[in-house]
């Protein structure tokens, strides 16, 4: 434990947006105790970092501990070297919870000014900042309307604007596109990507394609424990498949030829799109011989490649491996 602590303190000398050492959350006591977060070690660098996991995995609990909304059972977390939950750490964070609660009778501008004053701004500074954010989020003309009249997308924009009002260094977003239509989701994603040029973002979402659009790094959590944490590029390389996909104007003829080759272990036609799937016995020889097979069948080549694996595919594979799908 002493060695681990020293290693953690040494890492803390570097600039991480979020750094945790065996961060744990237990609900209940004795025989009714439930470990929601299991001594996790987060290393979140600048940029946009995705935080993924199925319902009940511990994402929201972790985020609430990081922002100081929930007491830490054991371990430690730091926000840019400031202890999580302290006034200094909270000043560095802008937070949008999964289900934000607004004062519906307040106008958007009034709410932002109120949040700005809570964040330490004086009234004049808060008003100026509120109006700048209303312009940025394309809601300036609606800033004097009660929030209760806002659409879901407008409320999310106000929520993110409120999180940014005091100019934080780190934005923590818990399901920021939940309950939005496709256009609303696209607008929020574009804004998050723009914001990340000056403010780091730690974001959770159950829509994996959105995380793939936004993030260079992701952490997957399941049953309170980290399953994998790395760059998307490295994760995809780790889980890349070995099934080649071939498409020509004569797929049936090509399939018959490929079935006879000793460098092909298995091959079939994919029902969804009619492409040929090939598991090679010898991948190098398959690539070397493919032009000859195409010429033998007088076929026209449309494509020949290993399809890029999606984050959705990896997510499912990770949780299947962990026994979460039967």
pLDDT by residue (tens digit) across 145-166?
Answer: 999 999 999 999 999 999 999 9
pLDDT of residue 14: 58
Pair 171, 34 in one domain? yes
CA gap 320, 61 in Å, rounded: 23
Identify whether 273 is part of a domain.
yes
251: phi then psi, degrees, rounded to nearest 5: -65, -35
Q: 2-11, 49-58, 133-142, 297-306: which range is least confident on average? A: 2-11
State whether 177 and 46 are in the same domain: yes
Question: Residue 109's closest CA among 152, 66, 68, 158?
Answer: 158
Specify the pairing of strand 200-204 against strand 48-52. parallel
Question: Is residue 298 classed exposed, middle or buried when 0-12, 13-18 and 19+ CB atoms within 10 A define those classes?
Answer: exposed
Interatomic CA distance for residues 325 and 119, integer angstroms? 44
Give the C-alpha distances (Å, rounded to integers) separating 18 from 48, 53, 229: 12, 18, 13
What is the per-residue pLDDT across 291-313, written as a single tens digit (0 to 9) for each? 999 999 999 999 999 888 888 87
Q: Does 84 have pLDDT greater than 70?
A: yes
Q: Of 237, 255, 285, which residue sits at a domain end?
A: 237
Distances (CA, A) of 179 to 110, 144, 155: 25, 24, 11
pLDDT of 8 above 60: no
Token output for 277: 């799937």
- Residue 325 confidence (pLDDT): 44
In a domain, 324, yes or no: no
Is residue 118 pLDDT above 90, yes or no? yes
Phi, psi of 135 (to 5 degrees): -65, -45
Residue 68 forms part of a structural domain: yes
Domain edge (last residue) among 204, 237, 270: 237
Does any domain span residue 246? yes
Q: What pLDDT, on the 0 to 100 scale, is given for residue 312?
A: 80
Is the model's pLDDT at 245 over the cut of 70?
yes
Q: What percent of the chain has pLDDT over 90?
A: 75
Number of domains in the chain: 2
Nearest to 201 by CA among 47, 14, 78, 77: 47
Domain that holds residue 262: 241-305
Element (H, E) at 147: none
Given a cut of 60, whether residue 71 has pLDDT beyond it is yes
Same domain, 228 and 246: no
Instruction: For residues 261-278, give the mean pLDDT.
Output: 92
């Amino acid at each position: 434990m002493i060695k681990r602590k020293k290693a953690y303190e040494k890492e803390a000398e570097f600039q991480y947006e979020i750094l945790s050492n065996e961060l744990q959350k237990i609900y209940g006591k004795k025989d009714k105790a439930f470990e929601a977060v299991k001594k996790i070690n987060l290393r979140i660098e600048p940029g946009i970092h995705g935080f993924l996991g199925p319902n009940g995995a511990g994402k929201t609990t972790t985020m609430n501990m990081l922002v100081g909304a929930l007491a830490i059972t054991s371990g430690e977390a730091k926000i840019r070297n400031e202890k999580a939950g302290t006034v200094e750490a909270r000043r560095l964070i802008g937070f949008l919870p999964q289900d934000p609660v607004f004062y519906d009778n307040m106008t958007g501008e009034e709410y932002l000014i109120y949040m700005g004053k809570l964040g330490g701004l004086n009234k004049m500074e808060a008003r100026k900042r509120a109006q700048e954010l209303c312009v940025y989020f394309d809601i300036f003309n609606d800033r004097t309307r009660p929030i209760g009249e806002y659409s879901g997308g407008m409320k999310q924009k106000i929520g993110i604007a409120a999180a940014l009002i005091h100019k934080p260094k780190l934005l923590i977003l818990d399901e920021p596109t939940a309950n939005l239509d496709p256009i609303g989701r696209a607008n929020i994603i574009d804004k998050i990507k723009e914001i990340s040029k000056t403010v780091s973002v730690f974001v959770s979402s159950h829509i994996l394609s959105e995380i793939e659009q936004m993030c260079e790094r992701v952490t997957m959590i399941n049953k309170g424990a980290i399953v994998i944490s790395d760059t998307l590029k490295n994760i995809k390389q780790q889980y890349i498949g070995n099934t080649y996909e071939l498409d020509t104007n004569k797929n049936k003829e090509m399939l018959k030829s490929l079935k006879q080759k000793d460098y092909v272990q298995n091959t079939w036609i994919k029902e969804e799109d009619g492409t040929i799937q090939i598991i090679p016995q010898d991948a190098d020889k398959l690539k070397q011989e493919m032009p000859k097979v195409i010429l033998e069948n007088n076929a026209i080549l449309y494509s020949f490649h290993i399809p890029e694996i999606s984050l959705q595919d990896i997510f499912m594979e990770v949780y299947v491996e962990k026994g979460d799908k039967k």
